[in-house]
Amino acid sequence: DDYKDIPRGTAIFKDFVIWGYPHIGRIFLLETGLKEQFESPFWVEEKVDGYNTRIFKYGDNYYALSRGGFICPFTTDRLPDLIDLRILDENPDLVICAEVAGPENPYIEESPPYVKEDVKLFVFDFMRKNDQKFLSQEEKMELIERYNLPHVEVLGKFTTSEEDIRKIKEILKRFNEEGREGVVFKEDSERNKRAKYITSYANLMDIKTNTKNMLQLPPEYYTNRILRLVLFMYEEGLERTEHLYEELGRAFIDGIFKAIEQFEKEHKVYKTFTCKFRKKENAIALLELLSKTSKHIQVKERRLEKEGDYWRLEFDKVFLNMTGLLGHLLSGGIVYD
């Protein structure tokens, strides 16, 4: 995690440093939160439900860093499919900050509704090597346009006026219905203050998709998401949000039910991931990286085969603690708590 003033994910190379992408704080109440946090107009951008990456050029090659600061073999492998990198040839000190999202990624189960296959990349910031600051919104949009880069949806510049708050709430209502994760607010000022807000849809999906992994989650994982949901209901009024009672119950229960059914059939609790690579060695490197980084998850290759111009990788993440606990409970075991 962060170490003193050095954000998690900071990567040190021979000639330069790439700073970690900073955490963005979350507001739980939209109206009160925006009014409290922002002094000047701010940009509203979609927060895409994927994983964070930073892309840079080193020598003649392009690399993609994971949030944690490792070279990501999957993203690095697929860069030519995801983004036109002439921008880095002409601006070798730039670092592209982007979200990679879609159903075929090796990290997370969730994906935005409008990415129907494989993965897509969405630029949302630029940094420079050795520099912790972001480029301004103007510089960013100028680069995105000049190089025709894929980017997150920018919904406009807003203030905390009644009128604008109403518009932002409408955007979030629509995002919620469309199954999108939320938005990031970026103040259009020197201090470039930022905050994010997540839809109820995404809070519930987080609870549901992570149940197989629930025994490894930090203690505040559930309490935080439930608090977000309740504060949303509080802000919007109970009458309009009553359906969330049952949806919250379902989010918890359905996920565990599926884990039980899977265990009954296959004697383990796991999720299958699939993604494709240009080079076979990158697929192998990814499996090694995943195996190394979690001791609670066993990574099992299912297949790695040539498929057209790509290598198709399919693998399981076996959740060892959940597998063990369900095995114990379903055979009538006793738990001391």
Residues that bind its own copies (CB under 8 A): 23, 25-29, 32-37, 195, 214-215, 217-220, 222-224, 226-227, 229-231, 233-234, 238, 244-250, 252-253, 256-257, 260, 325, 329-337
CB 321 within 8 A of CB 217: no
270-277 β-sheet, strand order: 270-277, 310-319, 297-307
In the bound state with its own copies, the residue whose beta carbon lies nearer, of 61 and 331, is: 331
In the bound state with its own copies, the residue whose beta carbon lies nearer, of 37 and 274, is: 37
Distance from C-alpha of 331 to C-alpha of 224, rounded to nearest angstrom: 33
In the bound state with its own copies, the residue whose beta carbon lies nearer, of 231 and 289, is: 231
In the bound state with its own copies, the residue whose beta carbon lies nearer, of 250 and 300, is: 250
Distance from C-alpha of 167 to C-alpha of 240, rounded to nearest angstrom: 18
Q: How far is the CB of 173 from its own copies (least distance, A)?
A: 20
Distance from C-alpha of 16 to C-alpha of 327, rounded to nearest angstrom: 49
In the bound state with its own copies, the residue whose beta carbon lies nearer, of 30 and 135, is: 30
- Whole-angstrom CA distances from 230 to 126, 208, 224 are 35, 17, 10
CB 98 within 8 A of CB 122: yes
Distance from C-alpha of 277 to C-alpha of 306, rounded to nearest angstrom: 9
Q: How far is the CB of 237 from its own copies (least distance, A)?
A: 12
Phi and psi at residue 292, to the nearest 5°: -70, -35
From the list 74, 22, 46, the residue with the least C-alpha distance to 202 is 46
Q: How far is the CB of 98 from its own copies (least distance, A)?
A: 21
Q: How far is the CB of 321 from its own copies (least distance, A)?
A: 11
Q: How far is the CB of 304 from its own copies (least distance, A)?
A: 34
In the bound state with its own copies, the residue whose beta carbon lies nearer, of 59 and 218, is: 218
Q: How far is the CB of 64 from its own copies (least distance, A)?
A: 24
Beta-bridge partners for 43: 157, 186
Distance from C-alpha of 160 to C-alpha of 143, rounded to nearest angstrom: 28
Q: How far is the CB of 201 from its own copies (least distance, A)?
A: 15
In the bound state with its own copies, the residue whose beta carbon lies nearer, of 29 and 71, is: 29
In the bound state with its own copies, the residue whose beta carbon lies nearer, of 60 and 246, is: 246
In the bound state with its own copies, the residue whose beta carbon lies nearer, of 83 and 184, is: 184
Q: How far is the CB of 17 from its own copies (least distance, A)?
A: 22
DSSP state of 94: E
Q: How far is the CB of 77 from its own copies (least distance, A)?
A: 31
Distance from C-alpha of 327 to C-alpha of 139, rounded to nearest angstrom: 55
Q: H-helix or E-strand containing 173? A: helix 162-178
Beta-bridge partners for 303: 314
Distance from C-alpha of 284 to C-alpha of 293, rounded to nearest angstrom: 15
